[in-house]
Amino acid sequence: MAIQLGTAQSPTSSKAEGKPLLSAKALDFQFNLDRVERSDKNLTIFVWATNKAEYTQYLAFYDKASRYARTTITTRSDTPVEVDQIYLIQGSRKTPSADAYRGIPVEPGSTVTVQFIFRNTSSDNAFISKLNLIPTVGTRSFIRTYRWNSEEVPLRNISVP
């Protein structure tokens, strides 16, 4: 179930303000690290995912509620930490990854903001040596079946405020 966001609650983005912190391409998507926020013991990471294909693709990420491969962060202690919760944000729609297990449609040239929430992180997480995104991208064929691909997309050396 998608959550409708009001303007006041909608996450702000530095997309209009400048360049991303880091970028990587995979699966006909451009992934741009927008920002990292710390709140108490939680880390929230925002990534823009832009469909670079000439056709609609279905984008999914999986969190701890799923049995599929999950995005992780690795800190200076070299201990990977799995993401707790993920939201896919399109305009005013904020969809939990559990509700988007078959992906959300992303039109050619369109961008989705992906919000990754890591709960109860230690102060050791003041530096992320690697954010390992694991997107799953599906394309729909003419006979209404999907072809799914997944790939690790590492973004390295991220400072945390």
Gap between the Cα atoms of 145 and 161, Å rounded:
43
Range scoring the smallest mean pLDDT among 21-30, 37-46, 147-156:
37-46
Nearest by Cα to 9 from 86, 89, 96, 85: 89
For residue 133, what pLDDT is reported? 98
Q: Is the pLDDT of residue 100 over 60?
A: yes
- Span between the terminal Cα atoms of the chain, in Å: 32
Which two three-digit tokens encode residue 39? 């709140």
Decide if pLDDT at 138 tops 50: yes
On whether the pTM is more than 0.75, the answer is yes
Rounded to the nearest 10 degrees, how much is the dihedral formed by the CA atoms of 24, 13, 85, 9? Answer: -170
Residue type, 110: S
In the chain the beta strands, taken as DSSP E runs, fall at: 3-4, 22-26, 29-39, 42-51, 57-60, 72-75, 80-82, 85-90, 93-96, 104-106, 111-118, 127-133, 136-140, 146-150, 153-159
Domain ranges of the chain: 21-159
Q: What token pair was written down for 127?
A: 């530096």
CB 97 within 8 A of CB 61: yes
71 has a pLDDT exceeding 70? yes
pLDDT of 124 reads 60
Which backbone phi and psi does 45 adopt, to 5 degrees? -120, 130
Strands (E), 110-152: 111-118, 127-133, 136-140, 146-150
The CATH number, out of the four listed (1.10.760, 3.40.50, 2.60.40, 2.30.30), of the domain defined by the range 21-159? 2.60.40
C-alpha distances (whole Å) from 68 to each of 82, 84, 98 are 12, 13, 11
Q: Which two tokens stand for residue 20?
A: 């991303």
pLDDT of residue 18: 64
Most trustworthy range by pLDDT among 14-28, 70-84, 115-129? 70-84
